Structure 1
């Protein structure tokens, strides 16, 4: 019989049981981080497979479709199940909302917010909660995709592994990006798409230091998914021999069209959310009402159910009439907006691909009446798919590589790249947000991407200020002030009243200046007060402090505990704030370059 305790302490096996050695390897070696990324990629592939299978089982049970059918393309869906199922899902979501409102009031942090503000820290428990909500939403037919669940849980596991390894902030953010990269790569059988999804949307920047772990995670995720026999996603656009100069004009026009419609959809989701909040309907009943509305739409257009995975394959390969495409675009857009706006959880990633493909086919019909073109409707569908997705999700290179990996056709990549750049630039200039960052903006967060700005918030006034401040009672006579604060003893003295409340700042050189009253004459310190309403609070970050210095035109400001008590707790100078800010910026630059 094996003595496991004795075996654990043998020299060769001990390495496997001592967490410190693993932590040391990952923290001190790029190879260690790559190994951790490979493990994350493996886990993410199983996460995607498990979530996809559970969703399919729900579709089979609720809508009575076949094991190989997709909900949005299943012709056997019963009309009454299409009506009742989303409503039933809304009832379940309402119950979850009621429970979370009482026992889990913190909002769930997604990978973008985690990397932007929290150094890559994600709650695995919260991730499982979101996955459950997403599965109920998608499984009962709400018009949302599963990509949010894929990336959330995969990144949640990556964050948990990073915390166990006690990774540095930059490495933690990279590992969270590895989880998202592997999830998207597994979902679409597209490693390049997954990798650049992480660079552009989760990490917020591309660097040599992050290249190896992210790409390894994406490749491992893809290979494991293929070995599991999961269905791959491919689009056949026929043969595209070469791209001519004349093909770029319609592609750019399609990109601009997708940008405008993408902004409309994002605004529509916001309008539904605001209307739901202002209505008389209780919050726990809003998903049920939204589900009922989606069910009514599904009676006339079953393709709005679910993410639209099957409908995309079905519609790209067939010829649709002008009015049929218009009808599908309107119904899918409205159903997606109602689903998310009424409280269902999920993403718009795949919905944006489906809508973009429809917009591309619509554009092909419209442009075909104006000018002759050598491009087929299927090519325009792929261009529209990428352009509309970049308007909603962001990530120009992500969507360009997605088109390349889905079609396997290199010539189309140039057209897609031009279109997605046009779409991305128009959205950024006129709207300024992707769908995820737009929702952060509505919550009051100033996040435009996953670029790390959390360190700025962590660099607070409380961490930078001096605590050894000198104060004086404002009623102190001038002669006593001269005795307590001789010239050269300090630069600034903070004046307080008899209760210790901040009333202003006194510059010592100004007191001793010849322009002030003669020492032998009576004077009042109140005549010397400056910055009476200019002060700092300990929770302010460096950026807010610098802005306050600029507005007050002061070289230093007092720090008070709060605006009610106004007790002086410190002093902070502008020069020290700028120096600390510059040091942190330089550290971030070196981390990005892989120098630390």
Structure 2
């Protein structure tokens, strides 16, 4: 009798969450909040998993760059190799073992799928990403964090048998929640999905994205006590005439972004031509990162600790220039090998390092008349992100959320819009995410269905 009561209660809950048409919007906001909480918890599990993998490989946890600097040269060489081999083996044999035909890519599930993400295959990929990231792979941890949060949204929608368009919207809510949790930027998390994935900021889809992002951010930073990844200093803007230099910075980064995306494409093609098994391909990518790190340990990880360093202290421009070049190569090797992870944080690193170098050069030419190089680094983060993702509004709001400083708005908006315009008009240019989706499934913008309306 008690069992029947429980089943009846669960059935009533599912019917409530499915809702009636007239209450659809309110119910979706409620569900978005639930996905925000669960998505935040999923990202916490991944963060803690990275710490465990770091302990396994290095007997230390914390900043990967600081860990690498304390290791011997042969440890820096072999640890990324071992991590790559393990990550590749997990991918190669784990995916074969689970045998799921469902997509594990949240963008594909949203723009061209039915909103259902394969849970077992997603967990396998996330486990592989743990070993890549935890062993020093030059790739962002946010990729797997967003994927896990999106998987939670998919599972929630599937559990209550939501219609396909609502199911896809919940996956989008999960992705927004994951990004908000990763970067302490709830508005930018929602805009990332709206601008890049869905392609619209209509309120019937944007409202739930905002709710999921805000709830996720509140859960992870206020209730669980996680600090923001970047410690941004106060922004200094000395004079409006500096806007000329910020415009020039945006122009240069707008040209750099398509070249970076092309490099990632070519790296992927080169690794594919080797015809090596996935295990050996990821091992080769790890070996390349390890070889570089024997001289420059700063290439380990996603780059956030180096960004924090250059925002708060002066780094010799010669060293920073070399680290920037080799970080780009290490990122191309890691991503090209097929490792699971994100490109968001490495993109922010490139923008920050280039901006810092640009600001340092201006300071040498106009001593005492230019804002510190950290100001150009912060704006560079946003400008390169706008150029690489073709999402200037998201980039502007993300950096503003990180700084919470009104003085940054004019130089940031100017640089981001110019960088985006230059990158978009580049011959054959596409965003870093559109390129990945095209290579995976051959999907183009015309094939993307709206998630906010029923078919």
TM-score, with length taken from structure 2:
0.91
Matched, 1:122 2:117: yes
- Cα distance in structure 2, aligned partners of 1:298 and 1:114: 36
**Structure 2 residue aligned with 1:47:** 42
**Structure 2 residue aligned with 1:463:** none
How many residues are treated as equivalent by the alignment? 449
Q: Which runs of 5+ in 2 are unaligned?
A: none
Residue 72 of structure 1, CA deviation: 2.1
- Cα distance in structure 1, aligned partners of 2:444 and 2:152: 24
**Residue range with higher mean Cα deviation, 319-328 or 22-31:** 22-31
SS class of match (2:358): helix
TM alignment of 1:192-341, pairs within 5 A? 192-226=187-221, 227-240=223-236, 244=240, 246-279=241-274, 281-341=276-336
User: Contact conserved, 1:26 with 1:36, CA < 8 A, in 2?
Assistant: no
Alignment equivalent of 1:436, drawn from 428, 433, 438: 433
Residue 413 of structure 1, CA deviation: 2.1
Deviations 1:108-163 (A, max 9, x none): 44122211111423222222122112111101111011111111111111012112
**Structure 1 residue aligned with 2:403:** 407
SS class of match (2:137): coil
| Aligned CA distance change for structure 1 residues 20 and 44 (closer, same or farther; 3 Å) | closer
**Structure 2 residue aligned with 1:573:** none
User: Contact conserved, 1:234 with 1:407, CA < 8 A, in 2?
Assistant: no
Matched, 1:143 2:141: no
- Cα distance in structure 2, aligned partners of 1:413 and 1:24: 42
**Structure 1 residue aligned with 2:2:** 4
Residue 595 of structure 1, CA deviation: 10
SS class of match (1:118): coil
Residue 267 of structure 1, CA deviation: 1.6
Alignment equivalent of 1:82, drawn from 76, 83, 91: 76
Residue 95 of structure 1, CA deviation: 1.9
Higher RCO, 1 or 2 (CA under 8 Å, sep at least 6)? 2
More strand by share: 1
- Cα distance in structure 2, aligned partners of 1:239 and 1:205: 31
| Aligned CA distance change for structure 1 residues 432 and 241 (closer, same or farther; 3 Å) | closer
- Cα distance in structure 2, aligned partners of 1:243 and 1:49: 42
RMSD of aligned Cα (Å): 2.6
- Cα distance in structure 1, aligned partners of 2:249 and 2:345: 19
Alignment equivalent of 1:445, drawn from 426, 442, 445: 442
Larger radius of gyration: 1
Q: Which runs of 5+ in 1 are unaligned?
A: 456-587
| Aligned CA distance change for structure 1 residues 48 and 441 (closer, same or farther; 3 Å) | same
- Cα distance in structure 2, aligned partners of 1:217 and 1:439: 25
User: Contact conserved, 1:72 with 1:309, CA < 8 A, in 2?
Assistant: no
Deviations 1:47-82 (A, max 9, x none): 1111011102212331233x4x31123443343321
**Structure 1 residue aligned with 2:376:** 380
**Structure 2 residue aligned with 1:72:** 65
Deviations 1:478-506 (A, max 9, x none): xxxxxxxxxxxxxxxxxxxxxxxxxxxxx
- Cα distance in structure 2, aligned partners of 1:229 and 1:197: 24
TM-score, with length taken from structure 1:
0.70
| Aligned CA distance change for structure 1 residues 374 and 136 (closer, same or farther; 3 Å) | same
